[in-house]
Amino acid sequence: MAKTISDNIGAFYQHYPRLVVVVSGSADGRDNAMSIAWHTSISKNPPLFGVCVSPNHFTYKLIAQSGQFGVNFIPDTKAELVAALGGSKGSQVDKFSTFSIGRSNAQKITVPILTDAYAAFECRLVDDRLYGDHKLLVGEVIAVHYDEVAFMENGVLDIEKVNPTLYLGGEIYLDTQQSLPRTLNRNFCVDCLRK
């Protein structure tokens, strides 16, 4: 496969598709939610999860002030909501009332958990560092909300029941039902590729 090599990074979509999550925050009686594609698990013990947020965003200010945030995993049936949350500013509009977002209470912190989420993390902020133009916010996951129907017995998301919201970049979203999942045994694949 011929590749183009350039020092012009462009839209920086080469690492997509990405699972989109909705990060929620709350402080001083104000709630907000924003869509992000830049996030990652960091540690299993203790359970740490990181989200990358611009320090200019209203959600960042709420998280920095309160020291807590929610991470909501939204099905692709709500992709329009995900896009709307990413395309509006929480400092200018109450997204929860404007978009009729259902919420439930967190158990250990005070941020809203979206009722449309098939899973959500309650996170206590443990680190806040600037990298380039974004802050990496690391949260310790102190509670997990999940719809048991959405997951198989081994804890893996059952995409026959719930499709996650996948973002390709450039306002394009992907439906996982368009292709079938494959289970690949890692050791078998290593052995096959060594031949």
DSSP, residue by residue, 149-187: GGB-TTS-B-TTT--B-EEEETTEEE-GGGS------HH
pLDDT tens-digit map of 130-172 = 999 999 999 999 999 999 999 999 999 998 899 999 888 888 8
User: Residue 195: is its pLDDT beyond 70?
Assistant: no
Please tell me the distance from the alpha carbon of residue 144 to that of residue 121, in angstroms, as a whole number: 5
User: Residue 75: is its pLDDT beyond 70?
Assistant: yes
Q: Residue 111 has what DSSP assignment?
A: S
User: Residue 45: is its pLDDT beyond 90?
Assistant: yes
For residues 33-45, average pLDDT: 96
User: Residue 90: is its pLDDT beyond 90?
Assistant: no
Rounded to two decimals, the pTM is 0.89
Domains in the chain with CATH codes: 18-194 (2.30.110.10)
* CA atoms 63, 66, 67, 71: torsion sign: negative
Coil, helix or strand at residue 103:
strand
Percent of the chain with pLDDT over 90: 65
What pLDDT is recorded for position 58? 96
pLDDT bin (cut points 50, 70, 90) of residue 192 is low
User: Residue 65: is its pLDDT beyond 80?
Assistant: yes
What pLDDT is recorded for position 94? 92
Mean of the per-residue pLDDT values of the chain? 89
